[in-house]
Chains A and B, each alone.
Chain A
């Protein structure tokens, strides 16, 4: 099995740890990832905010590259995924005019939904070396991956399940909570830190109330946002894991966890040690 892969700028920058865990996990699962050559930024929130035509045009180039490879495209970043799907919809409706050969017919997956298919869940369960028994988590999807449903294709957007299924397959104890899709405010931090801190702080509180010891995410912006705000907290921190980091932990055991998690502000090592997962 082979997919084309659009990493996006975050995985090239602040979220290189996410990128490394993805490479490892896909090797374990024997799925080939072909990175789009010379991919370009999807425009993210900025293009969407200031220039909607560019917001439709910028992702189209990457879709064209994937179509040339003839491989379904997978995106690990919620924002890129949303932008790619948005552009694809407008291309299909012939609403955007771009200089590249692109039809918009190719499938664009977000990585969690691709991996949470029953056949792959089974494969994941077969690869487990160290199930994450006893680790209590909540899964956080954020806004861009699930909404708006007409773009993302999520039918269970009120209570999405992909990350929940993946975390459960790894043996973690997944807690239910009502904030799976409530925006963390990452996009507004530059100008209105007050709003960002309120939204992010509430998510951390609610995760605690739900009995979680860690949060599982797939979006690099959510991860940075939920993690960075805890960098000076005194008391108990709630580590924020990329779901692929937990997969790698369950596939390989925790001998190298010190290296994998060294870019986290909310240090996961004490928690993992307490659970006997190192």
Chain B
């Protein structure tokens, strides 16, 4: 079975757990909990559901799975629900949750790890614009070694689905106005500054992907 195959058995956030046996390959159950604990160093088992993290969070009202529920979901191995949540994309990594947790559970680190995991999974990101924007940012970084705001936005809008999405949502005129205002204020710079060390950065990217230099 392909561990990354989309599952239509995702439990709804408040719904019951999947009732088929947990298998190691699909990353449910204890291996999932151990993996998240191991990768993030977060003390997930220590959570006693006091909800202080959620109360400290500035955007919890926009999340389908609240920060304290994220921790519970990890304990229960509800992987698909987490990876297809709005939570992983809406989270600002502002670290209020981790800072105020009485048990020092690094909630923000867990959500970041899940966002990484969601991005590398076959589950479509719930906030597509944000996911594509981050990806575009990294593309620009790989191209220039640094990121220039003008070329970043240009590259972002060059993705046709993104442009269509903006037209559909009616946000494009406002964005063009903002671009014009920034231009008038002299805040945009058309000539990107490159770093001469770009070859080193690209080499790290290649190694990340497991490619070996010939």
Interface residues of A (CB under 8 A from B): 9, 12-14, 16, 38-41, 43-54, 57-58, 61, 98-100, 143, 147-149, 157, 181-183, 185, 187-188, 190-193, 195, 199, 228, 231, 262-263, 265
Taking a contact as CB atoms under 8 Å apart, the answer to whether A191 and B62 are in contact is no
- A61 interface neighbour in B59, B92, B138, B197, Cβ under 8 Å: B197
Interface residues of B (CB under 8 A from A): 58-59, 62, 89-90, 92-96, 98-99, 106, 108, 112-113, 115-116, 119, 127-131, 133-135, 137-138, 141, 145-150, 156, 171, 178, 181-182, 185-189, 193, 195-198, 200-201, 203-205, 207-208
Task: Name the B residues within 8 Å of A13 (CB-CB).
Answer: 147-150, 187-189
Task: Name the B residues within 8 Å of A9 (CB-CB).
Answer: 146-148
Taking a contact as CB atoms under 8 Å apart, the answer to whether B130 and A188 are in contact is yes
| A222 to B187 CA separation, bound complex (whole angstroms) | 15
On whether A40 and B99 interact (CB within 8 A), knowing A9-B147, A49-B119, A52-B112, the answer reads no
A39 to chain B, nearest CB (A): 7
CB-nearest residue of chain A to B135: A50
Task: Name the B residues within 8 Å of A100 (CB-CB).
Answer: 200
A128 to chain B, nearest CB (A): 30
Taking a contact as CB atoms under 8 Å apart, the answer to whether B116 and A50 are in contact is yes
| A41 to B195 CA separation, bound complex (whole angstroms) | 9
Top 8 A-B pairs, shortest CB-CB distance:
A191-B130, A191-B129, A46-B137, A183-B94, A147-B95, A143-B94, A46-B134, A190-B133
Taking a contact as CB atoms under 8 Å apart, the answer to whether B201 and A192 are in contact is no
Task: Name the B residues within 8 Å of A190 (CB-CB).
Answer: 129-130, 133, 156
On whether A195 and B195 interact (CB within 8 A), knowing A14-B149, A47-B138, A49-B116, the answer reads no
A65 to chain B, nearest CB (A): 9
| A240 to B124 CA separation, bound complex (whole angstroms) | 38
| A192 to B90 CA separation, bound complex (whole angstroms) | 8
Taking a contact as CB atoms under 8 Å apart, the answer to whether B93 and A187 are in contact is yes
Taking a contact as CB atoms under 8 Å apart, the answer to whether A46 and B200 are in contact is no
| A52 to B197 CA separation, bound complex (whole angstroms) | 21
| A12 to B89 CA separation, bound complex (whole angstroms) | 28
A229 to chain B, nearest CB (A): 10
Task: Name the B residues within 8 Å of A195 (CB-CB).
Answer: 59, 62, 90
Taking a contact as CB atoms under 8 Å apart, the answer to whether B201 and A40 are in contact is yes
A185 to chain B, nearest CB (A): 6
On whether A147 and B90 interact (CB within 8 A), knowing A39-B195, A50-B116, A52-B116, the answer reads no
Taking a contact as CB atoms under 8 Å apart, the answer to whether B147 and A41 are in contact is yes
| A263 to B188 CA separation, bound complex (whole angstroms) | 11
B134 to chain A, nearest CB (A): 4
On whether A183 and B92 interact (CB within 8 A), knowing A38-B195, A188-B130, the answer reads yes
Taking a contact as CB atoms under 8 Å apart, the answer to whether B59 and A54 are in contact is no
Task: Name the B residues within 8 Å of A193 (CB-CB).
Answer: 171
| A56 to B140 CA separation, bound complex (whole angstroms) | 18
Task: Name the B residues within 8 Å of A43 (CB-CB).
Answer: 138, 141
Extra pairs beyond A49-B134, A143-B93 (7, CB < 8 Å): A40-B145, A40-B197, A44-B137, A45-B137, A46-B133, A50-B116, A149-B99
Task: Name the B residues within 8 Å of A199 (CB-CB).
Answer: 58-59
Task: Name the A residues within 8 Å of B116 (CB-CB).
Answer: 49-52
A237 to chain B, nearest CB (A): 14
B183 to chain A, nearest CB (A): 11
CB-nearest residue of chain A to B100: A158
Task: Name the A residues within 8 Å of B141 (CB-CB).
Answer: 40-41, 43, 46-47, 58
Taking a contact as CB atoms under 8 Å apart, the answer to whether A188 and B90 are in contact is yes
- B204 interface neighbour in A41, A99, A148, Cβ under 8 Å: A99
B171 to chain A, nearest CB (A): 7
With most chain A CB atoms within 10 A of its CB, the pick from B112, B147, B195, B203 is B147
On whether A191 and B197 interact (CB within 8 A), knowing A9-B148, A148-B108, the answer reads no
Task: Name the A residues within 8 Å of B92 (CB-CB).
Answer: 143, 183, 185, 187-188
A173 to chain B, nearest CB (A): 28
B114 to chain A, nearest CB (A): 11
| A170 to B193 CA separation, bound complex (whole angstroms) | 35
